[in-house]
Structure 1
Amino acid sequence: MENIADIERDLVLEAIFRRHHYDFRGYSATSIARRLERARQEFGCATLTELQGRILYEPLLLPRLLDILTVQVSELFRDPSYFRTIRETVVPHLRTYPSVKVWIAGCASGEEVYSLAILLREEGLEGKAIIYATDINPVALHGAESGVYDLERVVQFTQNHRASGGKSSLSDYYTAGYGRMVFDKSLRDRVVFTSHNLANDEVFSEIHFVSCRNVLIYFDRPLQDRALGLFRDALVHGGFLGLGPRETLRFSRWSDAFADFAPSDRIYRRRMTADAAREVTHVLA
């Protein structure tokens, strides 16, 4: 007999999808159950069934519900070695393209957006780059676009930037006041913030670098495969994919579509045709 808690969880997720068109049905059962329990408590519901009713009949709950169900934890230049590796090994390849498209999938509150915008500026690629910053949560996207963070985080941000190989002072990119730091609006000149759901939306095209970090760990295996398939389809031949430190392509149905590039930092490369590989070798020589 199926567990009542599992039935309630599935019915709530189905209600969210059918009423509001946000699909959490492929998220890790353990992770989503924990977040639904938090939502139940925060909205003062006795059961998940009561929460389901409020989701169906009180649409104004949706923004806060999305905040609870999506993960918004990040920091500037998180895992500095990842960004140092991008600087040292990925950027030389990106320089060979006449234009560069970057997709940050699951950008949350935007710290990675500003990390890559700063990196591209410091490496002289900003003028020919476009960054697509996407997330399922419209509230998070709005916060990311504002570029405002608590000033108490600046010490960690600065340390991470320096450890990532930063070529200037982080203070060149923000202004501070009233306990907040605000990133320079010019960093957003080449950024497109837009809603995107890896569970049921389609791909961007001709992308040269996809960064999707600490998102797949919250998906079940079929949804992980769907997301990785989107990234494969989005990337140009020879394009790069960056994942989080606890994520891997191993055991994915798309593992053969990628080659290890910097495996210690979870950076992979979409396999190229023989002709494309010869052309890249010639340009880099």
Structure 2
Amino acid sequence: MTPIDHEQITSTTESPQGESQLATNLAEREHIEIDLLLEGMHRLYGYDFRNYARASLTRRIWHHVHSEKLGSISALQERVLHDRSCFERLVQNLSIPVTEMFRDPHLFRMFREKVVPLLRTYPYIRIWHAGCSTGEEVYSMAILLHEEGLLDKARIYATDMNNRSLQQAREGVFGIERMQLYTKNYLEAGGTRSFSEYYTARYQSVIFQPFLRKHIIFAEHNLATDRSFNEFNVILCRNVMIYFDDKLRERVHGLFHESLSRFGILVLGSKESMQFTGYSDSYEPLDRMEKVYRKIN
């Protein structure tokens, strides 16, 4: 047997070629560990993150590894598969809610000007907020429809894969410290009343009026695995698909196309587009700047 030359090993790993090979091996191991974690989550719990954009997903997984005080992704996998509470914390970490009332006010102003006149022609209106997070934009839509006299004939379906976020959305309770920003957004979005009419302050929180929640249905729905559940006049899915890879993004566009009525409206996020999807010819732009499209076939 040839003895191991430790000096040769050391010199190899310290050389640029050795360092490059070591980095490649570590990256490959990380990739395998993440694949196994995501496969286990899908098979055991039914949550499918396998086609999420890998760079963002990797950052969030490592963040959770550290928050659980673990040393590796494999250690996280073991805990996730044997401890559902750890799994639920990970899901919360992987679907960090980023939202606010009347976010991007110019979009809501455009919605009043260009979409509301179309909705007036319908006897009944169904709107789907896909990936609604903690519900701020859902309540924004309810307020807008109320001011335009359309809320009583509307049903807003608000869905998300994150149960904790959905529970907060159902309660309609938000921190009072954000009301100054939300009031500013509301006015810039074309609000016609005093924003404070829509909520009641309680200590350090506000709760939105029950008449708004009466027209909203909150439900769990996973865009990666679940199917269409109704036909809608408007679907809003803003800055959700930026976390998906091309395969999952195409699946979700297919889901939306199936779920929209003819001449239905699809609202995407500012960083998203219909370009380079298999459904680009099925829509016409209603407002290119705001990423609002109308289904034509």
Of 70, 87, 91, which residue of structure 1 is paired with 2:116? 91
What residue identity is the alignment partner of 1:260?
P
Native 8 Å contact 1:239 1:270 kept in 2: yes
| Offset at residue 60 of structure 1 (A) | 1.9
State the shift of 1:204 in Å. 2.7
- 2:61 matches 1:36: yes
1:101 has 2:126 as partner: yes
In our comparison, the structure showing a higher alpha carbon Rg is: 2
Question: Which residue identity does 2:251 align to in structure 1?
Answer: R
CA distance in 1, matches of 2:278, 2:31: 27
Measured in 2, the distance between the counterparts of 1:269 and 1:250 equals 14
Alpha-carbon deviations, 1:165-202, whole Å to 9, x = none? 01111101001121111111211101110000011100
Tell me the distance in 2 between the aligned counterparts of 1:62 and 1:55. Answer: 5
Tell whether the 8 Å contact from 1:55 to 1:61 is kept in structure 2 after alignment. yes
Distance 2:230 2:176 in 1: 37
- 1:165-184 paired onto structure 2 within 5 Å: 165-184=190-209
Query: Is 2:57 the counterpart of 1:45?
Result: no
- 4+ runs of 1 displaced by more than 4 Å? none
| Matched-pair contact (CA < 8 Å) for 2:233–2:264 | yes
Partner letter of residue 84 of structure 1? Answer: R
Which secondary structure state, in structure 2, belongs to the residue aligned with residue 102 of structure 1? strand
Q: Contact conserved, 2:81 with 2:87, CA < 8 A, in 1?
A: no
- Partner in structure 2 of residue 4 of structure 1: 29
Which of 171, 174, 189 aligns to 1:164? It is 189
Match for residue 234 of structure 1 among 252, 259, 270 = 259
Task: Indicate if the aligned counterparts of 1:77 and 1:112 stay in contact, CA closer than 8 A.
Answer: yes
Distance 1:63 1:186 in 2: 31
C-alpha contact (below 8 Å) 1:209/1:241 kept by paired residues? yes
TM-align CA RMSD: 1.0
Please list the CA deviations of residues 103-150 of structure 1 after superposition, one character each: whole Å capped at 9, or x if unmatched: 000000111110101011011100000000000001110011111111
Q: Which amino acid in structure 2 is aligned with residue 233 of structure 1?
A: E
Distance 1:178 1:125 in 2: 32
Quote how far apart the aligned CAs of 1:61 are: 1.6
Partners of 1:4 and 1:193 lie apart in 2 by 40
**1:114-125 map, 5 Å:** 114-125=139-150
Q: Distance in 2 between matches of 1:84 and 1:134?
A: 23
* CA distance, structure 1, for counterparts of residue 87 and residue 158 of structure 2: 22
Q: Give the secondary structure class of the aligned counterpart of 1:241.
A: strand
What's 2:228 paired with? 203
Aligned to 1:282: none
Q: Which residue of 2 aligns with 1:14?
A: 39
Give identity over the alignment, percent: 43
Q: State the partner residue of 1:276.
A: none
Secondary structure in 1 aligned to 2:289? helix
Match in the other structure for 2:217: 192
Which amino acid in the other structure matches residue 156 of structure 2? I
Deviation, 1:64, is 1.5
In structure 2, runs of 5+ residues without a counterpart are: 1-24
Q: For structure 1, which runs of at least 5 residues remain unmatched after alignment?
A: 273-285
* Counterparts of 2:211 and 2:68, CA distance in 1: 39
Pair 1:225 & 2:257 matched? no
Q: Paired residues, what number?
A: 272
**Alpha-carbon distance in structure 2 between the residues aligned to 1:100 and 1:204:** 15
2-structure distance, mates of 1:168, 1:62: 43
Partner of 2:290: 265
Q: Note the C-alpha offset of 1:94.
A: 0.6
